[in-house]
Amino acid sequence: MAAREVESPQGDVVLRAEGLTKVYRTGEVEVHALRGVDLSLAPRELIVLLGPSGSGKSTLLNILGGLDTPSSGHVFFRGTELTARDEAALTQYRRHHVGFVFQFYNLIPSLTAKENVSLVTEIADAPMRPEDALALVGLGERLNHFPAQLSGGEQQRVAIARAIAKRPQLLLCDEPTGALDSATGVLVLEAIEAVNRELGTATALITHNAGIALMADRVIRFGDGQIVESNVNATRRPARDLEW
Protein backbone atom coordinates (compact mmCIF):
# COMPACT_ATOMS: atom_id res chain seq x y z
CA MET A 1 0.00 0.00 0.00
CA ALA A 2 1.41 3.35 -0.95
CA ALA A 3 1.95 5.74 1.93
CA ARG A 4 0.35 9.07 1.88
CA GLU A 5 3.03 11.71 2.37
CA VAL A 6 1.81 14.75 4.18
CA GLU A 7 4.14 17.61 4.97
CA SER A 8 4.15 18.67 8.54
CA PRO A 9 3.12 22.32 8.89
CA GLN A 10 5.61 22.80 11.71
CA GLY A 11 9.33 22.61 11.12
CA ASP A 12 11.37 20.47 13.45
CA VAL A 13 9.08 17.83 14.92
CA VAL A 14 9.83 14.12 15.22
CA LEU A 15 6.35 12.97 15.97
CA ARG A 16 3.01 14.68 15.86
CA ALA A 17 -0.41 13.34 16.87
CA GLU A 18 -3.65 15.13 15.95
CA GLY A 19 -7.07 14.44 17.42
CA LEU A 20 -6.38 10.83 18.38
CA THR A 21 -9.32 8.85 19.69
CA LYS A 22 -9.44 5.17 20.52
CA VAL A 23 -12.58 3.25 21.32
CA TYR A 24 -12.50 -0.37 22.43
CA ARG A 25 -15.63 -2.40 22.27
CA THR A 26 -15.89 -5.24 24.71
CA GLY A 27 -19.27 -6.84 24.30
CA GLU A 28 -21.90 -4.17 24.83
CA VAL A 29 -19.55 -1.77 26.56
CA GLU A 30 -17.63 0.93 24.73
CA VAL A 31 -14.43 2.05 26.39
CA HIS A 32 -13.07 5.43 25.28
CA ALA A 33 -9.35 4.99 25.89
CA LEU A 34 -8.44 8.19 24.09
CA ARG A 35 -10.75 11.13 23.57
CA GLY A 36 -8.99 13.54 21.20
CA VAL A 37 -5.31 13.81 22.01
CA ASP A 38 -2.95 16.26 20.32
CA LEU A 39 0.75 15.98 21.01
CA SER A 40 4.07 16.66 19.36
CA LEU A 41 7.58 15.66 20.23
CA ALA A 42 10.70 17.58 19.24
CA PRO A 43 14.18 16.11 18.74
CA ARG A 44 16.22 15.85 21.96
CA GLU A 45 13.05 16.35 23.97
CA LEU A 46 12.25 14.10 26.94
CA ILE A 47 8.61 14.02 28.00
CA VAL A 48 7.05 12.18 30.88
CA LEU A 49 3.43 10.98 30.65
CA LEU A 50 1.83 10.81 34.07
CA GLY A 51 -1.54 9.49 35.02
CA PRO A 52 -3.48 6.85 36.85
CA SER A 53 -3.80 3.41 35.28
CA GLY A 54 -6.52 3.28 32.65
CA SER A 55 -6.06 6.94 31.79
CA GLY A 56 -4.99 6.14 28.22
CA LYS A 57 -1.27 6.82 28.35
CA SER A 58 -0.25 3.30 27.29
CA THR A 59 -2.78 3.36 24.46
CA LEU A 60 -1.23 6.59 23.24
CA LEU A 61 2.26 5.10 23.46
CA ASN A 62 1.18 2.02 21.51
CA ILE A 63 -0.29 4.18 18.77
CA LEU A 64 2.81 6.38 18.61
CA GLY A 65 4.97 3.27 18.44
CA GLY A 66 3.03 1.77 15.54
CA LEU A 67 1.66 -1.13 17.55
CA ASP A 68 -1.93 0.01 17.44
CA THR A 69 -4.07 2.21 15.24
CA PRO A 70 -6.35 5.02 16.44
CA SER A 71 -10.11 4.98 15.86
CA SER A 72 -9.74 8.48 14.44
CA GLY A 73 -7.04 11.13 14.18
CA HIS A 74 -3.60 11.14 12.63
CA VAL A 75 -0.01 10.46 13.59
CA PHE A 76 2.84 11.94 11.58
CA PHE A 77 6.41 10.74 11.89
CA ARG A 78 8.81 13.26 10.34
CA GLY A 79 5.98 14.46 8.15
CA THR A 80 4.87 11.00 7.00
CA GLU A 81 1.43 9.90 8.11
CA LEU A 82 1.69 6.61 10.00
CA THR A 83 -2.00 6.13 10.45
CA ALA A 84 -2.45 5.61 6.73
CA ARG A 85 0.11 2.83 6.46
CA ASP A 86 -0.17 -0.94 6.49
CA GLU A 87 1.18 -3.48 8.89
CA ALA A 88 4.36 -4.15 6.98
CA ALA A 89 5.16 -0.45 6.82
CA LEU A 90 4.59 -0.12 10.56
CA THR A 91 6.98 -3.00 11.12
CA GLN A 92 9.60 -1.12 9.10
CA TYR A 93 8.86 2.04 11.11
CA ARG A 94 9.48 0.19 14.38
CA ARG A 95 12.50 -1.54 12.95
CA HIS A 96 14.34 1.59 11.90
CA HIS A 97 13.04 4.49 13.94
CA VAL A 98 11.58 3.42 17.28
CA GLY A 99 13.17 2.00 20.39
CA PHE A 100 10.96 0.29 22.97
CA VAL A 101 11.66 -0.26 26.65
CA PHE A 102 9.16 -2.49 28.47
CA GLN A 103 8.18 -2.71 32.08
CA PHE A 104 9.26 -6.36 32.24
CA TYR A 105 12.38 -5.95 30.06
CA ASN A 106 11.35 -8.73 27.64
CA LEU A 107 14.87 -9.91 26.99
CA ILE A 108 15.33 -13.11 25.03
CA PRO A 109 16.42 -15.61 27.69
CA SER A 110 18.39 -17.74 25.28
CA LEU A 111 20.60 -14.82 24.18
CA THR A 112 23.36 -13.07 26.17
CA ALA A 113 23.26 -9.33 26.88
CA LYS A 114 25.40 -8.60 23.85
CA GLU A 115 23.40 -10.96 21.66
CA ASN A 116 20.13 -9.38 22.75
CA VAL A 117 21.50 -6.08 21.49
CA SER A 118 22.89 -7.68 18.32
CA LEU A 119 19.39 -8.96 17.59
CA VAL A 120 18.50 -5.36 16.78
CA THR A 121 21.78 -4.12 15.34
CA GLU A 122 21.83 -6.96 12.81
CA ILE A 123 18.70 -5.64 11.16
CA ALA A 124 19.25 -1.87 11.55
CA ASP A 125 20.64 0.55 8.97
CA ALA A 126 23.41 2.35 10.87
CA PRO A 127 23.58 0.83 14.33
CA MET A 128 26.13 1.31 17.12
CA ARG A 129 28.34 -1.54 18.11
CA PRO A 130 26.48 -3.61 20.73
CA GLU A 131 29.44 -3.12 23.09
CA ASP A 132 29.11 0.67 22.82
CA ALA A 133 25.36 0.55 23.42
CA LEU A 134 25.91 -1.52 26.55
CA ALA A 135 28.74 0.80 27.69
CA LEU A 136 26.36 3.71 27.35
CA VAL A 137 24.04 2.14 29.92
CA GLY A 138 26.94 1.19 32.18
CA LEU A 139 27.06 -2.53 31.35
CA GLY A 140 30.30 -2.70 29.40
CA GLU A 141 31.50 -5.47 31.70
CA ARG A 142 28.59 -7.89 31.52
CA LEU A 143 28.39 -8.51 27.80
CA ASN A 144 28.32 -12.28 27.88
CA HIS A 145 25.83 -12.82 30.66
CA PHE A 146 22.47 -14.41 30.01
CA PRO A 147 19.36 -12.61 31.33
CA ALA A 148 19.00 -15.19 34.11
CA GLN A 149 22.45 -14.14 35.35
CA LEU A 150 21.58 -10.42 35.56
CA SER A 151 19.69 -8.43 38.19
CA GLY A 152 16.41 -6.72 37.31
CA GLY A 153 18.07 -3.31 36.93
CA GLU A 154 20.79 -4.80 34.77
CA GLN A 155 18.24 -6.57 32.61
CA GLN A 156 16.35 -3.31 32.11
CA ARG A 157 19.55 -1.51 31.14
CA VAL A 158 20.26 -4.25 28.58
CA ALA A 159 16.75 -3.61 27.28
CA ILE A 160 17.55 0.10 26.99
CA ALA A 161 20.81 -0.68 25.19
CA ARG A 162 18.86 -2.95 22.85
CA ALA A 163 16.33 -0.15 22.24
CA ILE A 164 18.84 2.54 21.41
CA ALA A 165 21.57 0.57 19.62
CA LYS A 166 19.88 1.19 16.28
CA ARG A 167 20.09 4.98 16.95
CA PRO A 168 16.32 5.43 16.88
CA GLN A 169 14.76 8.86 16.53
CA LEU A 170 12.18 7.95 19.12
CA LEU A 171 12.52 6.09 22.40
CA LEU A 172 9.29 4.90 24.01
CA CYS A 173 9.47 3.63 27.59
CA ASP A 174 6.41 2.12 29.27
CA GLU A 175 6.89 2.09 33.05
CA PRO A 176 10.60 1.25 32.71
CA THR A 177 11.12 1.38 36.49
CA GLY A 178 7.78 -0.20 37.39
CA ALA A 179 9.32 -3.49 38.42
CA LEU A 180 12.39 -2.05 40.13
CA ASP A 181 13.27 -0.61 43.53
CA SER A 182 14.13 3.10 43.61
CA ALA A 183 17.93 2.78 43.73
CA THR A 184 17.94 0.45 40.73
CA GLY A 185 15.27 2.58 39.06
CA VAL A 186 17.58 5.59 39.25
CA LEU A 187 20.32 3.67 37.44
CA VAL A 188 17.87 2.85 34.68
CA LEU A 189 16.64 6.42 34.43
CA GLU A 190 20.24 7.59 34.26
CA ALA A 191 20.72 5.33 31.29
CA ILE A 192 17.66 6.79 29.57
CA GLU A 193 18.85 10.28 30.36
CA ALA A 194 22.28 9.53 28.94
CA VAL A 195 20.80 8.25 25.71
CA ASN A 196 18.54 11.27 25.39
CA ARG A 197 21.39 13.63 26.04
CA GLU A 198 24.16 11.99 24.06
CA LEU A 199 22.22 10.69 21.05
CA GLY A 200 19.52 13.35 21.05
CA THR A 201 16.78 10.73 20.88
CA ALA A 202 13.29 12.12 21.44
CA THR A 203 12.01 10.19 24.44
CA ALA A 204 8.54 9.55 25.84
CA LEU A 205 8.40 7.90 29.23
CA ILE A 206 5.26 6.61 30.89
CA THR A 207 5.12 6.43 34.65
CA HIS A 208 2.60 6.77 37.41
CA ASN A 209 5.40 8.00 39.64
CA ALA A 210 5.30 11.81 39.90
CA GLY A 211 8.85 11.95 41.26
CA ILE A 212 10.23 10.96 37.90
CA ALA A 213 8.54 13.92 36.22
CA LEU A 214 11.29 16.23 37.40
CA MET A 215 13.78 14.79 34.89
CA ALA A 216 11.55 15.73 31.92
CA ASP A 217 11.54 18.72 29.62
CA ARG A 218 7.77 18.52 29.61
CA VAL A 219 5.27 16.75 31.85
CA ILE A 220 1.93 15.68 30.44
CA ARG A 221 -0.81 14.55 32.78
CA PHE A 222 -3.44 12.15 31.58
CA GLY A 223 -6.92 11.62 32.87
CA ASP A 224 -9.80 9.72 31.33
CA GLY A 225 -8.32 9.54 27.86
CA GLN A 226 -7.38 13.18 27.61
CA ILE A 227 -4.46 15.43 28.35
CA VAL A 228 -5.52 17.31 31.44
CA GLU A 229 -2.34 19.30 32.00
CA SER A 230 0.92 20.01 30.22
CA ASN A 231 3.81 21.67 32.06
CA VAL A 232 7.26 22.64 30.86
CA ASN A 233 9.97 22.21 33.50
CA ALA A 234 12.25 25.20 33.64
CA THR A 235 15.21 22.93 34.35
CA ARG A 236 15.57 19.19 34.11
CA ARG A 237 16.72 17.59 37.29
CA PRO A 238 19.46 14.93 36.76
CA ALA A 239 18.12 11.43 37.28
CA ARG A 240 20.60 10.64 40.02
CA ASP A 241 19.01 13.37 42.17
CA LEU A 242 15.55 11.86 41.91
CA GLU A 243 13.94 10.21 44.86
CA TRP A 244 10.69 8.40 45.43
Site residues for another protein per CB under 8 A: 58, 62, 65, 67-68, 88, 91-96, 98, 100, 102-104, 106, 108-112, 115-116, 118-120, 122-123, 144, 146-149, 162, 174
Q: Which is nearer to another protein, 63 or 216 (CB)?
A: 63
One-letter amino acid identity for 23?
Answer: V
Smallest distance from another protein to CB 46, Å: 20
Q: Which is nearer to another protein, 95 or 237 (CB)?
A: 95
Q: Which is nearer to another protein, 58 or 196 (CB)?
A: 58
Bridge partners for 98 per DSSP: 170
Q: Which is nearer to another protein, 3 or 108 (CB)?
A: 108
Smallest distance from another protein to CB 206, Å: 10
Quick one: which of 21, 19, 18, 15 has its CA closest to 79? 15
Smallest distance from another protein to CB 170, Å: 12
Smallest distance from another protein to CB 95, Å: 3
Helix (H), strand (E), coil (C) string for the chain: CCCCECCCCCCCCCEEEEEEEEEEEECCEEEEEEEEEEEEECCCCEEEEECCCCCCHHHHHHHHCCCCCCCEEEEEECCEECCCCCHHHHHHHHHHHEEEECCCCCCCCCCCHHHHHHHHHCCCCCCCCHHHHHHHCCCCCCCCCCHHHCCHHHHHHHHHHHHHCCCCCEEEEECCCCCCCHHHHHHHHHHHHHHHHHHCCEEEEEECCHHHHHHCCEEEEEECCEEEEEEECCCCCCHHHCCC
Q: Which is nearer to another protein, 103 or 226 (CB)?
A: 103
Smallest distance from another protein to CB 17, Å: 17
Smallest distance from another protein to CB 104, Å: 5
Q: Which is nearer to another protein, 2 or 148 (CB)?
A: 148
